[in-house]
Amino acid sequence: MEKYFIRDAVVEDIEQIIKISSADNRWLPEKYQEIIEFNIPMIVICNRDNTTLVAFIVYIIFMDELRILNIGVDKFYTRNGLATRLLEITFSNAREQNCRYALLEVKTNNIDAINLYIKLGFVCLCIRKMYYEDRSNAYLMQLIL
Ligand SMILES: CC(C)(COP(=O)(O)OP(=O)(O)OC[C@H]1O[C@@H](n2cnc3c(N)ncnc32)[C@H](O)[C@@H]1OP(=O)(O)O)[C@@H](O)C(=O)NCCC(=O)NCCS
């Protein structure tokens, strides 16, 4: 992880975040603006000189629950452990705030992400039918922190 720089997101990152988001998990710019405006945690990984953004995660903590809202890695940088690193940082922040478990939804056909979450210890709690705008299904997954 030496060649990367991890920091909180700023407004100037939004364009690059949208660029690296896959069509499936791309949000509108206004949504990212709100996230920054309302101090919702969003962490990014940049290359060492801090010019190219290569990964991001958005999450919220409510009471003892951590919710992963979005995570994405530039497709040229995948399989380098970047998503794992972001999730580990997030888990550590959540544990410090006394969270007991993490929850997330993932499309049932998103094998890459499902493999990632299973590797980190998430288990599937249930299927949420027609959860997404395109009416596709989600798995609700949980990790005890
Ligand atoms: C899913 C995603 C976040 C993974 O990011 P990443 O940085 O490549 O993940 P990591 O390198 O930390 O991978 C950790 C493990 O996840 C699994 N995994 C990740 N990508 C995988 C793939 N393409 N195929 C199979 N397993 C995969 C593997 O078990 C991997 O461990 P390994 O490399 O030792 O085999 C990334 O592919 C992405 O941004 N996808 C598009 C956006 C998305 O789907 N977000 C999730 C929304 S719920």
Residue 1 has pLDDT above 70, yes or no: no
Mean pLDDT, range 89-105, rounded to an integer: 98
Looking at residue 25, its pLDDT comes to 72
The tens digit of pLDDT for each residue in 46-67 reads 988 778 999 999 999 999 999 9
Q: How far is the CA of 82 from the centre of ligand 1 (A)?
A: 9
Dihedral over Cα of 36, 42, 48, 54: its sign: negative
Q: What is the mean pLDDT of residues 3-15?
A: 93
Distance 95 CA to ligand 1 centre (A): 23
Domains of the chain, start order: 4-144 (3.40.630.30)
> For a substitution probing ligand 1, which of 116, 120, 132 has the most ligand atoms within 8 Å of its CB?
116
The tokens of 107 are what? 């499309």
Residues in CB range of 24: below 8 A, 6 or more apart? 107, 110
